[in-house]
Amino acid sequence: MFARLARRLRLVDEGGSQDRLLEQVAADVTETAPLTGRSLLSERVSGALRRVPRDRFVPPERHSSAWTNVALPIGLGQTISQPFIVAIMTELLDLTPDARVLEVGTGSGYQTAMLAELAAEVHTIELLDALAARARTVLGQAGYRNIRFRTGNGAAGWPEAAPFDAIIVTAAAASIPDALRRQLRAPGRMVIPVGRPGLEQSLILVSKDERGTVSERAALPVIFVPLIDRGSEESE
């Protein structure tokens, strides 16, 4: 009796369930459709959301919150993104099974896993050694073999592996780095949050057509940690 009341009043953490999380993500997608142009997740993206175990990507002390539709701290001032944001960013990339993808901001590796589920090859760059090392271990243990890792400044992209069919940036840039625009294939799609820390940021969808003409549109107001633009001392 008390337990039920406490749950209803949210006095105890129910932990959330994967099914409920998927329902919440679907509801957020529908609600934001006027902005994003997507009212439903594709079968491919919702299937990947179901397959990727988010609890493996959050620190042990956050396990009970893994199946909630919120961003969570992962250490070093960084966060694992909110599942709805991961879902809609992935959706907007329209990944095909043969796609080659660049991700900037590996973080926990959760978004990386989503991409690895849907594309042929993922190149991911993380600035902070400790996070890069942890993500590499978790993704290896989860069995992903189509991910290449790099530690360094992702604002410079990964020129040797370019062009990419899709580019996703999971930290907010002051403006879209030229290197990333250049490394996008024609045709190709990029999603990137743009704006200043603490102020409103916009998720920008960049589309390059077959002839290389680039168009950009704001797809959603978002909040991301900043993309740190620091020298590009890189290692693989």
Residues identified as active-site = 81
Q: Does 27 bind ligand SAH (CB under 6 A)?
A: no
Q: Does 192 bind ligand SAH (CB under 6 A)?
A: no
Residue 117: beta bridge partners?
none
Q: Structure tokens of 40? A: 């439903």
CA distance to 21, 38, 39, 81, 207, per residue, from 33 (Å): 18, 5, 5, 20, 18
Q: Does 131 bind ligand SAH (CB under 6 A)?
A: yes
Residue matched to tokens 């992702």: 154
Least Å from the CB of residue 17 to ligand SAH: 20
Q: Does 125 bind ligand SAH (CB under 6 A)?
A: yes
Least Å from the CB of residue 129 to ligand SAH: 10
Q: Site size for ligand SAH, by CB under 6 A?
A: 24
Least Å from the CB of residue 6 to ligand SAH: 31
Please check whether residue 107 is in contact with residue 78, taking contact to mean a CB–CB distance below 8 angstroms.
yes
- φ, ψ (nearest 5 deg) of residue 27: -65, -40
Nearer to ligand SAH, 170 or 202 (CB): 170
Out of 67, 84, 110, 149, the residue judged to bind ligand SAH by CB under 6 A: 110
Nearer to ligand SAH, 79 or 189 (CB): 79
Q: Residue 51 and residue 35: Cα distance in Å, rounded?
A: 27
Out of 105, 157, 188, 193, the residue judged to bind ligand SAH by CB under 6 A: 105
3-state helix, strand and coil shares in percent for the chain, rounded to the nearest 5: 35, 25, 35
Residue matched to tokens 């916009």: 202
| Position 46, amino acid | S
Q: Does 82 bind ligand SAH (CB under 6 A)?
A: no
Q: Which residues make up the interface to ligand SAH (CB under 6 A)?
A: 78-81, 104-105, 107-108, 110-111, 125-128, 131, 153-155, 170-171, 225, 227-229
